[in-house]
């Protein structure tokens, strides 16, 4: 199997999020939304999801442990923990504590996200990320979570993919509240950075040694036509709004245009103990004067890696290496917090998985301090506006019977995890004669 290829203590895991796997979430901004005709592409709803709230989480994580995974990234559902303003639900906290205790028993480290797409209904009614008091509400929630769950969590993520939420929910009408306003999107994005900073401060006051970070979506943007000045310009603009301006804000503490909000949100500068990167692929960006809500850039990649209309980009392991090397400038440990592909037949996933793990290895070789890789996802789940059609799981789930079936990639990933990446490192692959 060869010598371990990754640093000692590397985290090998998978990611999920509460609304996508728990089932029975009836008190957040997706509960009504997903039941409205036309909102979810295949007409499904999260419904029972993967029944994680009712006990299946423990079974699925036992499977993950048996597949040599030593970490899992999950999220907690704000609407369960604080169903009404200022009222904490002890039973919901107890449910998460039981799950976290079981993870510890299984030898699975926990990375816990506080906000992964959904907001409690009552927060949404106040305006969601545009609500006047959203920053203090989020910080109060973060503080309560670390007080009650802190002893069982290894790493905390404040917010998952702020730019995706701002884009899908506020700029376009893909996710609730579907505002369709660029201005609202930029304000929501600024508010999420402010809220991250406030939560970071509040959490560190309770547990100064806690490891707290944020997760950004970090696709690679490339001009569609080499030599086109407009493609190059628009590509740089998309990268700046989606990634560059956020990195800059987190490093310097200053919100630069077009991010909207206070110029220097309190506590933002260096409010990171680590940075999480979600990476699915690369966008080929082509200037399109009619696409103003996409900053005049159309993504024109070949549709070979896409199912339906979802836009996760072109497969490019190289792009992951380059993004991780770029993120090293943040001078904090890095984690790949999501990376995966929807592929029900598991035809593309094996090579995708091996190539992306090798790409992480290459980034480490080039000096990036990457401490873990979390594949999206452990099991098929409710894929937001796309419903159940895209299948991202290492484990196949039938949402009706709840039957689990391991895809070949689950075993392949077990070999990668069990060998600390040796089976996927560039060196091993080269010696086996793989491309
Ligand atoms: C990411 C989301 C995650 C899942 C994957 C496919 O952007 O964070 O919840 O939807 O895409």
Q: CB under 6 Å to ligand 1: residues?
A: 17, 20, 160-161, 164, 217, 278, 338, 376, 383-384, 392
- Domain containing 376: what range? 11-218+340-431
Instruction: Report how far residue 91's alpha carbon sits from residue 101's, in angstroms, rounded to the nearest whole number.
Output: 15
pLDDT of residue 299: 81
Number of alpha carbons in the 13 Å side-chain half-sphere of residue 337: 31
Give long-range contacts, CB 8 A cutoff, 24+ apart: 391-394: 391/342, 391/343, 391/344, 392/340, 392/341, 392/342, 394/14, 394/67
Q: Which residues contact 206 (CB under 8 A, 6 or more apart)?
A: 143, 146, 147, 150
- Match 């075993």 to its residue by tokens: 411
Indicate whether 376 pLDDT > 90: yes
pLDDT of residue 113: 99
> Which atom of ligand 1 lies closest to the CA of 390?
6
Please, which pLDDT band fits residue 433 given cuts at 50, 70 and 90?
A: very low
More confident residue, 171 or 309: 171
Distance CA 368, CA 362 (A): 9
pLDDT of 298: 82
pLDDT computed for residue 432 by the predictor: 42
pLDDT tens readout for residues 273-289: 999 999 999 998 998 88
Q: Is 322 part of a structural domain of the chain? A: no
pLDDT band at 435 (very low <50, low <70, confident <90, very high): very low
In sequence order, which ranges of 229-271 are alpha helices (DSSP H)?
A: 229-239, 245-252
CA neighbours within 13 Å on the CB side: how many for 310?
24
Q: In this predicted structure, what is the pLDDT of residue 72?
A: 99
Three-state DSSP at 101 gives: helix
18 CA to centre of ligand 1 in angstroms: 12
Residue 156 lies in a domain: yes
Distance CA(246)–CA(261), nearest Å, equals 13
The pLDDT tens digits of the residues spanning 223-265 come to 999 999 999 999 999 999 999 999 999 999 999 999 999 999 9
Average pLDDT over residues 154-167: 98
CATH number of the domain that residue 119 is part of: 3.20.20.80
- Best of 46, 162, 338 to mutate for ligand 1, by most ligand atoms within 8 A of CB? 338
β-pair type (71-75, 155-160): unpaired
Distance 383 CA to ligand 1 centre (A): 7
In a domain, 323, yes or no: no
| Main-chain dihedrals φ then ψ at residue 202, nearest 5 degrees | -65, -40
- 403 CA distance to ligand 1 centroid (A)? 23
Residue 123 lies in a domain: yes
Nearest partner of 287 among 227, 241, 222, 233, judged by Cα: 233
62 exposure class (CB count in 10 Å sphere: 0-12, 13-18, 19+):
middle
Q: State the Cα–Cα distance between residues 114 and 96, nearest whole angstrom.
A: 12
Q: Which atom of ligand 1 is nearest to the CA of 392?
A: 6
Contact present, 117 and 188 (Cβ < 8 Å): no
Is 90 exceeded by the pLDDT of residue 371?
yes
Which of 48-62, 136-150, 303-317 has the lowest average pLDDT? 303-317
pLDDT of residue 427: 42
The sign of the dihedral angle between the CA atoms of 100, 101, 105, 109 is positive
Q: How far apart are alpha carbons 268 and 246 in whole angstroms?
A: 11
Please give the DSSP secondary-structure letter assigned to residue 72: E
User: Mean pLDDT throughout 315-334?
Assistant: 97
Tell me whether the omega of the peptide bond preceding residue 177 falls within 30 degrees of 0, making it cis.
Answer: yes
Number of domains in the chain: 1
Partner residues linked to 160 by β-bridges: 215
Distance from C-alpha of 28 to C-alpha of 78, rounded to nearest angstrom: 8
Catalytic residues: 161, 338
Q: What is the mean pLDDT of residues 39-53?
A: 97
Say yes or no to pLDDT of 1 above 50.
Answer: no
pLDDT on residue 301: 65
In which element (H, E) is residue 361 found? helix 349-365
Which numbered atom of ligand 1 lies nearest the CA of 17?
9
Q: Ligand 1: distance of its center to the CA of 220 in Å?
A: 16
Residue 129 forms part of a structural domain? yes
For residue 82, the SS3 value is coil
Which residue's CA is the closest to the ligand 1 atom numbered 10? 383
Helix or strand or coil: residue 248? helix
Q: Is residue 141 part of a domain?
A: yes
Q: Is the pLDDT of residue 302 over 80?
A: no
Task: Compute the average pLDDT of residues 36-54.
Answer: 97
Residue 98 Cα to ligand 1 midpoint, Å, equals 25
* Average pLDDT over all residues of the chain: 93
How many other C-beta atoms are found inside a 10 Å radius of the C-beta of residue 300? Answer: 15
pLDDT bracket for residue 304 (50, 70, 90): very low
Structure token digits, residue 280: 């699915």
What does the alpha-carbon distance between residue 385 and residue 45 come to, in Å, rounded to a whole number?
A: 9
Pocket test for ligand 1, best of 159, 279, 384 (most atoms within 8 A of CB): 384
User: How far is it, in rounded angstroms, from Cα 362 to Cα 150?
Assistant: 34
Q: Is residue 226 part of a domain?
A: no
Do the Cβ atoms of 7 and 364 come closer than 8 Å? yes
- Please list the helix, strand and coil fractions of the chain in percent, rounded to the nearest 5, in that order: 45, 15, 40
pLDDT for position 295: 78
The pLDDT value recorded for residue 41 is 94
**What whole-number distance in Å separates Cα of residue 79 and Cα of residue 88?**
10
Show the CA angle centred on residue 397, arms to residues 26 and 79, nearest 5°. Answer: 20
Residue 224 lies in a domain: no
Which atom of ligand 1 approaches the CA of 161 most closely? 8
pLDDT tens, position by position, 98-146: 999 999 999 999 999 999 999 999 999 999 999 999 999 999 999 999 9
Beta-carbon contacts of 117 under 8 Å, excluding residues fewer than 6 positions away, are: 17, 19, 30, 160, 165, 175, 384
**What per-residue confidence (pLDDT) applies to 430?**
41
CB 383 within 8 A of CB 307: no
């Amino acid at each position: 199997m060869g010598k371990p290829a990754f640093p000692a203590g590397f985290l090998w895991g998978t990611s999920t999020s509460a609304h996508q796997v728990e089932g029975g979430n009836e008190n957040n901004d997706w509960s009504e939304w997903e039941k409205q005709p036309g909102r979810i592409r295949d007409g499904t709803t999260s419904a029972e999801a993967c029944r994680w709230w009712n006990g299946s989480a423990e079974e699925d994580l036992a499977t993950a442990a048996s597949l040599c995974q030593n970490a899992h990234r999950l999220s907690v559902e704000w609407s369960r923990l604080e169903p009404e303003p200022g009222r904490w639900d002890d039973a919901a906290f107890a449910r998460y504590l039981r799950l976290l205790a079981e993870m510890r028993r299984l030898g699975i480290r926990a990375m816990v996200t506080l906000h992964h797409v959904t907001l409690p209904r009552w927060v949404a009614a106040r305006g969601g990320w545009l609500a006047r008091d959203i920053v203090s509400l989020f910080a109060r929630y973060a503080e309560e979570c670390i007080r009650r769950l802190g002893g069982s969590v290894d790493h905390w993520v404040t917010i998952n993919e702020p730019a995706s939420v701002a884009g899908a929910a506020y700029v376009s009408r893909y996710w609730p509240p579907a505002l369709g306003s660029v201005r609202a999107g930029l304000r929501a994005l600024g508010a999420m950075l402010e809220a991250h900073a406030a939560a970071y401060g509040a959490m560190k006051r309770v547990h100064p040694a806690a490891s707290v970070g944020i997760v950004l979506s970090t696709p690679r943007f490339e001009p569609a036509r080499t030599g086109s000045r407009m493609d190059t310009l628009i590509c740089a603009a998309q990268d700046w709004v989606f990634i560059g301006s956020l990195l800059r804000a987190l490093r310097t503490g200053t919100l630069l245009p077009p991010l909207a909000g206070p110029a220097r949100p309190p506590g933002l500068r260096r409010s990171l103990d680590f940075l999480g990167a979600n990476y699915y692929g690369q966008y080929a960006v082509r200037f399109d004067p009619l696409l103003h809500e996409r900053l005049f850039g159309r993504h024109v990649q070949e549709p070979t890696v896409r199912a339906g209309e979802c836009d996760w980009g072109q497969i490019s392991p190289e792009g992951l290496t380059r993004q991780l090397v770029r993120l090293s400038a943040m001078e904090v440990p890095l984690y790949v917090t999501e990376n995966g592909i929807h592929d029900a037949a598991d035809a593309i996933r094996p090579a995708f998985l091996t190539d992306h793990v090798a790409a992480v290895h290459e980034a480490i070789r080039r000096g990036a301090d990457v401490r873990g890789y979390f594949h999206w996802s452990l099991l098929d789940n409710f894929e937001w506006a796309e419903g159940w059609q895209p299948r991202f799981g290492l484990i196949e789930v039938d949402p009706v019977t709840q039957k689990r079936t391991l895809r070949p990639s689950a075993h392949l990933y077990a070999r990668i995890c069990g060998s600390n990446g040796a089976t996927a490192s560039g060196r091993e692959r080269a010696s086996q004669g793989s491309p």
